[in-house]
């Protein structure tokens, strides 16, 4: 998959602020500071299309990016240890759940986990939530450049066993070395194409 164009469209909090539901959407979710913005920037070959920050919780809205004029990448607010007011954090859960449960054009959620960390209860809860509502997901293990290859393999096995995932349900990724980029894009495109075919039948 070649990314020829990407454009920031809008930030939204309520469903009436979303773009019209006419194109497939790929959502990106994960704990604050897991590297969501860095992954999106790497996917689309742009440095700052999605803002990165050393401050966890900077993304507080649902952000829509039009990719190749044919799909949206959707950056969801991070969860977990975000250093933001409690009342702001309290708004995130219903905002994200409403999007995930009711957005008809959502085709895949890309769930990011830091390969260096033990999975959290938040990670486990979100994955169970995907399974409960039959939402397709792909697990991405970010920051793979921070560990040796042997340590990456050990962590990958631990995370796979923790969530009882199949071999093809997770991908290592590094924004520094770009490891995993092409694999992720291929999986995204396959999912989008399959869902379009099913929709048109």
* Whole-prediction pTM: 0.87
| CATH number, residue 96 | 3.40.50.300
Q: Is 171 exposed, middle or buried (0-12, 13-18, 19+ CB in 10 A)?
A: buried
Q: What is the 3-state secondary structure (H, E, C) of 129-159?
A: HHHHCCCCEEEEEECHHHCCHHHHHHHHHHH
**Residue 102, both tokens:** 């009711």
> By C-alpha distance, which of 51, 76, 55, 64 is closest to 137?
76
Q: What is the pLDDT along the chain (201 residues), one digit of tens a residue?
A: 788 899 999 999 899 999 999 999 999 998 888 999 899 999 999 887 876 444 444 457 899 999 999 999 999 988 765 555 666 666 777 888 899 999 999 999 999 999 999 888 888 888 888 888 889 999 999 999 999 999 999 999 999 998 888 877 899 999 999 999 999 999 999 888 875 544 433
Region for 134 from its dihedrals, namely left if φ exceeds 0, alpha if ψ lies in -120 to 50, beta otherwise? left
**Residue 59, both tokens:** 């993304």
1 in a structural domain = no
Tally of structural domains, the chain: 1
31 in a structural domain = yes
55 in a structural domain = yes
Domain span holding position 13:
6-200
> By C-alpha distance, which of 25, 13, 17 is closest to 196?
25
């Amino acid at each position: 998959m070649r990314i020829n164009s990407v454009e920031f469209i809008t930030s939204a909090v309520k469903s009436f602020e979303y773009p019209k539901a006419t194109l497939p959407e790929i959502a990106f979710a994960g704990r604050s500071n897991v590297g969501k913005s860095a992954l999106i920037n790497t996917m689309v070959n742009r440095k700052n299309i999605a803002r990165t920050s050393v401050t966890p919780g900077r993304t507080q809205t649902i952000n829509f990016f039009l990719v190749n004029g044919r799909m949206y990448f959707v950056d969801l607010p991070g969860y977990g240890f975000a250093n933001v007011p409690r009342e702001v954090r309290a708004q995130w859960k219903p905002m994200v759940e409403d999007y995930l449960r009711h957005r008809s054009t959502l085709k895949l959620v890309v769930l990011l986990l830091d390969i260096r960390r033990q999975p959290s209860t938040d990670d486990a809860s979100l994955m169970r939530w995907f399974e409960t509502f039959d939402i397709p997901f792909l697990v991405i293990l970010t920051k793979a450049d921070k560990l040796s290859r042997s340590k990456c393999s050990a962590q990958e096995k631990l995370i796979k066993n923790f969530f009882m995932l199949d071999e093809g349900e997770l991908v290592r990724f590094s924004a520094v070395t770009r490891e995993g980029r092409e694999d992720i894009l291929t999986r995204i495109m396959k999912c989008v194409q399959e869902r379009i075919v099913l929709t048109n039948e």
